Amino acid sequence: MKRSNTPSKLSPQRGARIALLLSGCCAVCTLTVTGLLPRPLFDALFLCGLLVLSARRIRVVLPHMTPRQREWLYVWVYVPLFCFFLPGSALWRDTEAGLGERIRTPAYVAVAFLFIAAHIFYFLYKNKPKMRKKIVAGNWKMNTLPAEGAELAKGIVAQRATAPAEVNFIVCPPFTHLSQVAEALKGSNIALGAQNCAAEEKGAYTGEVSAAMIAALGCRYVILGHSERRQYYGETSETLNLKMARAYAHGLTPVYCVGENLEEREAGKHFDVVKAQIEEVVCNLTPEQFADLVIAYEPVWAIGTGKTATADQAQEIHAFIRKVLADKFGAAAAETPILYGGSCKPSNAAELFAKEDVDGGLIGGAALKAEDFLGIGQGFAK
C-alpha cells in the first residue's frame, strides 16, 4: 500500500492533549448526568472551556491583524458583554428561579457569541501574513558632539507622542555618544542602536568596538554593511558574516544594508548586486537568526544626494529582496522588515511607506532634527 509522504499535522503531544480533553469532557458529562456534579458547576466548567478556546483563537490571529482590524475584533468581544449581560441582569431580578437558572441563558448566549466571533476572525486572518514591524531608524553617522547627541535624543523622547504609537523608532548615534543617549532614552520606547561592531570578539584590535561592548551600553540593534563602510573601509561579505555572528551572539538585531551604486543602477545590474549582497551574508543565517533581522535597502546614488528612489522603484526592489529571502527562508520572509534609506524626509515618507513592501526607513540627514525624524514616522499615519 502506498503511504503518503505528507507529515501528519497531529503531533504526539497534540494527540495526547486532545485525548485528555475528550476524556475530561466525557467524565464531566457522566458526572453531571448521574447527578454527582451539580448543574451550575457543569455550566461553569463548560463556559470556561469555551472562553479558553476563544481566547486561544484570538491570540493566534492578533499578530496577523492591523491595529484597525484589532479594534473591530475588540468591539465584537465586548458586544456580547453589553448585549447579553444587560438583559441578563434584568432576568436576574425578575425571576424567582435559583441563581444558576437565572444566569444560565444570558451566559450561554454571550459565550456562544464570543466563541463564534473568535472563530470567524480566526478563519479570516490565520493565513494572512503577520503584520511586519514598522521601523524608522536614525543613522546619525559621524555627526553631533556627545552633549548635542544627548539633547537630540531628549528632543525625540519629548516629541515621541507626535508620531503613531505603532512605529518603532531606533536611534544609532556614534559609539562615543551611546552611554549619554542611552540615559536620555531611558523610560521611553525608543531603541538604541550602534552603527557598526567589530568582526572579532575581543583582544588586540586597536580602535575597534566589540558587539559585547555596545550591547553592554544598552544597544538592541547594530547597523551592518552600510555602503559607506563597504566603500570607505573595505567591508566585504566575508567580514560581514563575522560581524553578523558577533551581533547575534550578543543579542543584537542586525540592520543589514544592501544597495547598488549609480553605475550599477544605470547598467541595470541593481537586482544582481542586491541579490549577491543578500545571498553572501543573509543566506548563511540560521532560521532563528533570520527571524531577528532587519534589512535596509539604500541605493548609494540616493544617499545624501537629495535624490530619492521613487516609491515604485523602492517597491520593485523591496519586493525582489523579499522574494530572494523567501527562496531561502520560505514564509518567514513575509515578516522581515525591509527599510528604505536614501534622502528620505517627512515630505516623501508617506508615499514610500504606503508601498506594500516598504516597512519604514533608515534615515541619515533628516534624523538629526527631532521634528523631521518623528515627522518621517508620521508618514505611516497618512
Concerning whether 200 is annotated as a catalytic residue, the answer is no
Hey, which residues between 29 and 88 contact ligand 13P (CB under 6 A)? Answer: none
Select from 23-31, 127-135, 147-155, 363-371 the region that touches ligand 13P (CB under 6 A).
Answer: 363-371
What's phi and psi for 127, nearest 5 deg? Answer: -95, 0
Select from 14-22, 43-51, 144-152, 342-350 the region that touches ligand 13P (CB under 6 A).
Answer: 342-350
Concerning whether 279 is annotated as a catalytic residue, the answer is no
Contact by Cβ (8 Å): 117, 77 = yes
45, 76, 94 from 105: Cα distances, Å:
15, 19, 14
By CB under 6 A, residue 344 contacts ligand 13P = yes
Kindly state the cell numbers that stand for 189.
520606547
Tell which residue, 7, 382, 371, has the closest CA to residue 161: 371
Contact by Cβ (8 Å): 296, 362 = yes
By CB under 6 A, residue 364 contacts ligand 13P = yes
Among 65, 199, 294, 303, binds ligand 13P (CB under 6 A): 303
Contact partners, residue 258, CB within 8 Å, separation at least 6: 225, 273, 274, 277, 278, 295, 296, 297, 298, 321
Q: What is the Rg, in whole angstroms, of the alpha carbon atoms belonging to the chain? A: 27
Is 234 in a helix, a strand, or coil? coil
By CB under 6 A, residue 341 contacts ligand 13P = yes
Rounded Cα distance, 270 and 293, in Å: 22
Select from 213-221, 286-294, 323-331, 359-367 the region that touches ligand 13P (CB under 6 A).
Answer: 359-367
By CB under 6 A, residue 139 contacts ligand 13P = yes
Q: Is 71 exposed, middle or buried (0-12, 13-18, 19+ CB in 10 A)?
A: exposed
Which CB atom, from 73 or from 362, has the smaller least distance to ligand 13P?
362
Q: Is 106 exposed, middle or buried (0-12, 13-18, 19+ CB in 10 A)?
A: buried
What's phi and psi for 98, nearest 5 deg? Answer: -70, 165
Contact by Cβ (8 Å): 289, 252 = no
Output the smallest distance, CB 2 to ligand 13P, in A. Answer: 56
Select from 19-27, 45-53, 99-107, 297-305 the region that touches ligand 13P (CB under 6 A).
Answer: 297-305
Which residues partner with 167 through β-bridges?
Answer: 134
Output the smallest distance, CB 193 to ligand 13P, in A. Answer: 11
Rounded Cα distance, 112 and 110, in Å: 5
Binding pattern for the stretch 216-235 against ligand 13P, x by CB under 6 A and - elsewhere: ----------x---------
Among 149, 225, 337, 342, binds ligand 13P (CB under 6 A): 342
Which CB atom, from 307 or from 382, has the smaller least distance to ligand 13P?
307
Which CB atom, from 54 or from 139, has the smaller least distance to ligand 13P?
139
By CB under 6 A, residue 300 contacts ligand 13P = no
By CB under 6 A, residue 343 contacts ligand 13P = yes
Output the smallest distance, CB 354 to ligand 13P, in A. Answer: 19
Annotated catalytic residue: which of 228, 298, 318, 335? 298
- With both helix axes pointing from N to C terminus, report the angle between 178-185 and 146-158 in degrees, rounded to the nearest 10: 20
Which CB atom, from 103 or from 255, has the smaller least distance to ligand 13P?
255
Binding pattern for the stretch 178-217 against ligand 13P, x by CB under 6 A and - elsewhere: ----------------------------------------
Residues carrying an active site annotation: 226, 298
Sites of contact with ligand 13P (CB under 6 A) = 139, 226, 298, 303-304, 341-344, 362-366
